[in-house]
A and B are shown apart, each in its own frame.
Chain A
Amino acid sequence: MKKETASIWKQAFTSGLIAGGTAVLVSLVGLVEAFGDIYIISGLLTLGELILFAPILLFAYSAIRRVPNQPRRVHFGMSAVIGLVAGLILSLLVLIGNLVDLRPIFVNASPALFDYLTRGVPVPLGLVVPPLTSLLAALAGFGIFMIPERPRKAVIMGLLVVILLGTLRDQVLLASAAQLRPVSAVLRAVVFSSSGLKPLGALIVFLVTAGLSYYGSRKKAVAVTRTTSEQKRKRIILYSIIMIVMLLLPQVLGLFYTEILDTVGLFIMMGLGLNIVVGFAGLLDLGYVAFYAIGAYTMGVLTSDGLGLFNLTFWQALPIALVVTWLAGFILGLPVLRMRGDYLAIVTLGFGEIVRLLVLSDWLKPWLGGTQGIQSIAQPQIGSFTFDKLQYLYYLILIGIGIVAFVAWRLKSSHLGRSWMAIREDEDVAQAMGINLVWTKLMAFSTGALFAGLAGTLGAAKLTSVYPHSMTFIISINVLVLIIIGGMGSIPGVFVGALVLIGLPGLLTEFEDYRLWFYGLALVFMMLTRPEGLWPEARRKLELHDEQTTDLVPEQDMAPAATFSE
C-alpha cells in the first residue's frame, strides 16, 4: 500500500513536469501573448491565461481520474503537487528569460511574456507568482473532479459558454448592433464590459447555461418514452425555426458576417462531399481541393470575359462545370482506387499538388491564367437580377447546401450508401458479399468530386476570380479536419465541424496565425480520445446505446481491421 502511494506521488510529479512543459511550450509558441489581450471575464481572466492554465487543469484532472479510489486528501495533494511543479517550471522559464535574452531563438520569449507570466510583479518576487497561479488552476481541476457526474457536465457546459461568450464579446455585440439595438443595450448593461464579460455577467451566464444544461440532461432521460409522432412534430418545428433563422441571418448580420457565413457554407458543401469519400466509403482523400479547383477553374474558363474563350453565363457554365468535375473525379479515381488506405491518401495528395502545379505553370497560362489566375468571372443572374452581393449569394449557397445535404442524406441509406459503409468496415468482406469494389469506390469518389465542384463554381462566383494560390493543400486539410472533428460519416457533424472550425476562426482574427496549430492538435487529440467525432454517426451512436460502453466501440472496430492489415 505504501509503495502504491509512493508511485502515485511519482506519477503526480511526472504529470506536473509534463503540464509545466506544455505550459512553457504554449507560452513560447506565442499563444499566451497573442490572446493575452482578450478578456473573457474583464479584470479576472484572459484567453491567454486560459490557454496557459487549461493544460495544467486538465493534467491535474486526468491524473486524479486515473486513481479515482484514493481518499480526497490524496487527490488534493496530487493536484497541489502538479500545480506547484508546473508552476515552478514556468518560474524557471521566467528566470532563464530574465538572465539570458532568448529572443534571437524563441521569437516570443519577450519581456512582455515574462511580465504576463508573473502578472507584472518584478522578478525576484515575481518568481513566486506562476506556482501560485498554476496551483490555483490545478486545484480547479481537483474541484471539478469533486463535483458529482451529472452536475459536472452542467458546470463544464456553463464554463464553456462563458468562455465562448467572453471571447466573442465584440462579435456578439457588433452582430446585434444593427437591428437588435435594445437587446445589445441590455447585454452591454448587464453582461458585457468593455472587454469580455463582467464578473457578475459571467456568473449570470454561467448559472443560466449550467442550469439549462442540468435541466436538459434530466429531460433527456425522460424523452425516450415520448411517442415518435410527438418527436416528429417537435423536430419539424425546430427545423422550421432553424430555416427561418437561416433565411433572415444575412439581413440581420452585416457584410462581414455574411462573408464568414458564405465561406462556412462553401466548406459545408465540400465537407459533405468529402464526407462521402472519407466518412461513408473510408477512402482518405488528401487532394480534395483539386476538385474545388477544377470546378472553380472550369467556371472561370467558361465565363470569364478576361480570358474571352467562351463567355458563357453562370447558368450555362454550371452544368458543364459539374460534369467536368464529376468526370475528373471519375478519371482520377479510376487508376487510384485500386490502392488501399494510406497509399490512396498519398496519391490523392500528389494529385492535388499536380493540379495546383499545372494551374500555376506558364504552360497552361493562355487557358488558365498562370499565377494571375482568372478574373471577372460571371456571377449568377436571373432575368435582370444579378447575385452580385454576398448576401444574395448566401441564398444560392444555402440552396446548394440543401441539395447537396439532401442527396448525401438519401445516398447514405441507399444501396450504394450501404455498400460504401460495407467497404469502409471491411473491404475483403464487402467484396465477398458481391460488392463491386472499384465501381462503388468510383461512385464515392466522383460524387464527392461533384460536390466540391459545385462549391468551386459558387466560390468562383463569390470572388469573381480564382487564384492558384488559394488552391493549396491547406484547404484539403481544412475540409478533412472539419469532417473528422464533426464525426466521420455524420451529416450533422459536417455542419458542426464547419461552424466550429471555419466559423469561429473567421470571427476571431487573432486566431488566424494559430489556426492550423489548433487543427493539428485537434486531430491528434480527437484520434486519441474520441475517434468517432463530436457528433457521431447515428449507426455508431446506436451501437453505443446497445453496449452501454462508450470506450469499447472504437476498439471493436479496430480488432478485425488490425488483424487483416497485419
Chain B
Amino acid sequence: MFKRRRQRATFTDIVVWAIGAVIGIAVIYGTFVTWRTAQYSAEQWINLTIDGLKLGGVYALIALGYTLVYGILRMINFAHSEVFMSGPFTAVFLAKYLDSIGFYNDHPIISLILITLLSATVAVTIALLLERIAYRPLRYAPRLVPLITAIGASFFLQYTFRGLYGNDLEVYPNMDILDGTVAIGSIDVPKTDIVVIISAFLMMFLLYSIVQFTKTGKAMRSVSEDKEAAALMGINVDRVIVSTFALGGASAGVAGILYALIFHTAHFYMGFIPGLKAFTAAVLGGIGNVVGAWVGGTLLGLIESLGPNLFLSGLGVPAANQLKDGIAFAILVLILIFRPTGILGERLSKAKA
C-alpha cells in the first residue's frame, strides 16, 4: 500500500502531507520555545500530567463502549455519549438523598458503591433500550441509516433527560473523605484524583479481563471477527450484541460517576463533549481494540491537558487552554487522516482500505 502511494502521489496526498508537516513543525517549535523559556515549573507539569491521567481514565472507559460496539457492528454508536450522561444525571438524585439523611458521609464507600451501581444500571438500561428499539431493526441497513438513527437517538435521549430531570445543573454533594491531598514525594495530589485514576484503571482491567478471558468475551471477539462464521459456530449473535451494549453501558455508567467525582456536576448536555473526546480516544488507540481504548484515552487526556501549555503557549497563543477541546478534535482529524487504524489497530486496516 505504501509503495502504491509513492508511485502515485496525487495532488491530494501532497496537500495532506504538507498540512501534516506544517502542524508537526508548529508543534515542535512551540514545544521548543516553551521549554527554553521555562514558563512552567516542574510541579505544574506534574499536576497537569495527573489531570491528564484522570481525564484519560474517564475517556478510556467511555471509549470502551464505542470500541466494543464498533468492533461488532461496524457502527459509531453516536448516542453512547447520552448513555454516559444518563448514569450520573440519575445517580445525582440518589447522592443528594443519601446526603440529606447523612448516610453519604457516614458510609462514604457504601454510598459510592450504591451510586455507581445505580449509574451503571441506568446506563445499561438505556444502552439496551437503544439497541433493541433503534439499532436492531437496522442492522442490515446501509451504513448511513443507523448512524443517522444514532444521532436522532442521541438528541432524543438528551432532551428526554432534560424533560425528566430539568434544565438545571445538578451538583453532587461533597464527600469529606475525598477532600484534601496526599503527599507523594514532594507533590500534593488530590485524593479524588488518586481514587479516579485507580478505579478507572481497575475498571478497565476488569473489562479487559471480561473481553479476554470469559466465554462471553470470547464470543464477542469472534462475532467482531466474522458475524456469519460466529453464528455458524453456534454463537447467538443477538445475545452477544446485547451483552456488548450492556458492557459498554456499564463502563459508561462507572465513567459517569468518576466524571462526577472530578467535576461535581451533572447536566443533560454533559455527555456531548466527553463523548466526542472518548470517540477520539477510541480512534486514536485503534477502534475495535480494548487495550487501544485505554491507550488512546490516556494519551488523549495527557495531550489535552499538557498540549495547550506545551506547544500552544510556546507559539504565543493567548489563553491557550480555551483551545484544549480544539486540540482534541484536531487530533481526531489528524489521526483519521494519517493513521485511520489508530495506534494499536491493525486488523481493521484491511477492512477499511
Which residues of A approach B to under 8 Å, CB–CB?
Answer: 25, 28-31, 104-108, 282, 284, 286, 331, 334-336, 338-343, 345-347, 349-351, 353-354, 357-358, 360-363, 438, 473, 477, 480-481, 484, 514, 516-517, 519-524, 526-528, 531, 554, 557-559, 561-562, 565-566
Contact = CB atoms under 8 A, between A and B. Distances in A.
Interface residues of B, number: 61
A516 B158 contact: yes
A358 B323 CA distance: 7
Interface string B1-29: 00000000010100110010000000000
Contacts, number: 184
9 contacts: A29-B164, A346-B332, A360-B322, A361-B326, A363-B320, A473-B272, A517-B155, A527-B149, A562-B141
A338 B337 contact: yes
Contacts of A362: 318-319, 322
Contact of A334 (B16, B137, B164, B318): B16
B143 A357 contact: no
Nearest to A529: B137
Contacts of B144: 282, 284, 341
Given A28-B163, A561-B142, A335 B153 contact: no
B323 A105 contact: no
A562 B322 CA distance: 42
Nearest to A286: B151
B10 to A, nearest CB: 7
A526 B146 CA distance: 11
Interface in B39-84: 74-76
A360 B63 CA distance: 27
Given A334-B12, A523-B155, A342 B333 contact: no
B155 A520 contact: yes
Contacts of A108: 163-164
A351 B19 CA distance: 15
Interface string B87-108: 0000001001000000000000
B157 interface: yes
Contacts of B162: 517
B151 A480 contact: yes
B352 interface: yes
A340 B352 contact: yes
Nearest to B318: A362
Contacts of A554: 141, 145
Contacts of A347: 332-333, 336
A520 B93 contact: no
A484 B148 contact: yes
Contact of A350 (B76, B142, B227, B333): B333
A104 B337 CA distance: 48
A522 B151 CA distance: 11
Contacts of B145: 527, 531, 554, 558
